């Protein structure tokens, strides 16, 4: 299974549109265009197909966690 397959399955499972994915990736300051996303979701034999790199998938997974759960809470200082 390729990164593109994983990305596609997550997109379908969470019912995400291109706009949603762009906004989710912005949560971790990762910029991507809709045309780049479309290229990743194309079939491998399509001339505009683009491989989803590890960095894109890693940032999407981190951003998806923030999107679903919210940002990680800051640790509280213990009172003496």
Q: What's residue 70's pLDDT?
A: 83
Q: Range with the lowest mean pLDDT among 14-18, 21-25, 37-41, 74-78?
A: 74-78
Q: Given pLDDT bands bounded at 50, 70 and 90, which one contains residue 78?
A: confident
For residue 32, is pLDDT > 90?
yes
The residue length of the chain stands at 80
Cα–Cα distance measured from residue 63 to residue 40, given in angstroms and rounded to the nearest whole number = 18
Q: pTM surpassing 0.85? A: no
**What residue spans of 1-80 are helical by DSSP H?**
3-13, 18-26, 34-40, 54-69
Share of the chain above pLDDT 90, in %: 85
Backbone CA torsion sign across 54, 27, 11, 46: negative
């Amino acid at each position: 299974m390729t990164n593109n397959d994983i990305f596609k399955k997550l997109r379908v499972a969470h019912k995400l549109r291109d706009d949603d994915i762009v906004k989710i990736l912005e949560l971790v300051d990762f910029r991507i265009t809709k045309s780049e996303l479309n290229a990743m979701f194309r079939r491998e034999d399509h001339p505009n197909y683009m491989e989803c790199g590890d960095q894109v998938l890693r940032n999407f997974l981190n951003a998806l966690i923030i999107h679903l759960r919210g940002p990680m809470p800051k640790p509280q200082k213990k009172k003496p």
